[in-house]
Chain A
């Protein structure tokens, strides 16, 4: 199973094995990683699973669609490497992925 490393804003790191096919958001929620709320359950309606993807991994995570871009555009802490974790599907190609969390999701 691919291992994803989630790094909280305070630096606490969680390396988690996540099944292929789940989203990066689900990997966090299923393992109680703090900082990813996912109010809407993964339908790209809330922007509460905002993460920063380490540059080396950005391309492998695919391109955000219009809906995701619109939602991210207004996240208070959005950067070039911002993604919504619910929109990134875990595959073997993402083994080793590192994502960092913003200070808050709202």
Chain B
């Protein structure tokens, strides 16, 4: 193999948060060899969370969006190959073929392939004005369409749909959210939290349609004009955003015969079924030892944690401290912060009154072990909950609900 010369080193496929972080941690942890970062998008690794928020509202710059400045990659001796996609992985030869026809040899490979918006097989899907939001380019298209007075229809009441909705209202557009389930955030939050969030959106003038299916996207002259509902109704719109979840970009791994099941299967050190290949971020299905479950997490903290796991394993460093999953979302003046996953929870404890002033919901196992916390505008309760979940502490529900209980004492 000509290309397996002394230049072969670590290759990272994927230039998102996970891939960019893996490169940084490898250097932090003392890896001195060749390091190549391959990204499909033309941009250096950037933060995706602001795309639906600050970036959409024009409050962020390309500089502030970037994870690290361009000079970082030069200084850290990371070769970047942007605007190219890995098309084939030859595990026996230890090579990856890129879309520009070149081949990279690797000693260790890190797959940070990310996820993509779940496609919705709807008539009219290809009309102009029908969008999804994953990349900065998607966000730019969306921003251009969300002019004051524009009518936005959002299919899917998840984090992305609701964040874009809040930004659209701030931009002077109107918005309708169409959710198939009986509540928004059905996959990620508990019913009382969903109820609060959907009411809050309604109070801001958003038309929230629950338990509503979508039949088709309708248009005229190639441009979307409305969303046809399963009940026959029509939501007129100028822009339709489809935000119905994400799928792992695991095709490359599948084709190479790596174990995949709803994502690339990895262990707690981000190792795939091939000892020379790691996978990190949205594309993985990973163990969560505390819960005894495999999960596919789509979050920045997960991307960073797995990037550390992979970099530590490759450089022979002690594994990072295990973390509990956590998530955040900003919508209007609401900050949602969630930690832990309520697997096996049987008790729901409300701390405070559901109000913009702040409240939290704790989820407990039958033996009062705190499994998860969901907080709105209640950062102290979120942080306390994160500590309680991490420590797997048992707290009597009455104490958590009692606002006179000192959370610092409970979390100590």
Contacts and interface: CB of A to CB of B under 8 A. Distances in A.
Interface of A: 29-32, 34, 37, 39-41, 43, 45-47, 67, 70-71, 73-76, 104, 106
B390 A32 contact: no
A32 B380 contact: no
A39 B327 CA distance: 10
Interface size class of B (residues with CB under 8 A): 20 to 34
Main secondary structure on chain B at its contact with chain A? helix
Contacts of A30: 68-69, 72
A18 to B, nearest CB: 12
B47 interface: yes
A32 B24 contact: yes
Interface string B318-335: 000101001010100001
A45 B335 contact: yes
B387 interface: yes
Q: Is the interface of A mostly helix, strand, loop or mixed?
A: loop
Contact of A73 (B47, B323, B383): B383
A104 B411 CA distance: 18
A73 B381 CA distance: 10
Given A32-B72, A41-B49, A106-B323, A74 B383 contact: yes
Given A30-B72, A106-B321, A73 B24 contact: no
Nearest to B384: A74
Interchain residue pairs A-B with the least CB separation, the first 4: A74-B383, A70-B380, A70-B379, A45-B328
B304 interface: yes
A75 B384 CA distance: 9
B22 interface: no
Contacts of B24: 32
Given A41-B47, A41-B49, A70-B379, A29 B68 contact: yes
Nearest to A29: B68
Contacts of A46: 301, 326, 328
B359 to A, nearest CB: 14
A39 B328 CA distance: 11
Contacts of A34: 28
A106 B304 CA distance: 13
A40 B72 contact: no
12 contacts: A29-B67, A30-B68, A32-B24, A32-B68, A41-B300, A70-B379, A73-B380, A73-B383, A74-B380, A74-B411, A104-B321, A106-B321
B50 A41 contact: yes
B337 interface: yes
Contacts of B411: 74
Interface string B74-94: 011000000000000000000
B180 interface: no
Interface string B368-412: 000000000001100110110010000000000000000110010
A74 B68 contact: no
A43 B408 CA distance: 23
Interface string B151-180: 000000000000000000000000000000
Contact of A39 (B28, B301, B321, B379): B301
A84 to B, nearest CB: 11
Contacts of B76: 32
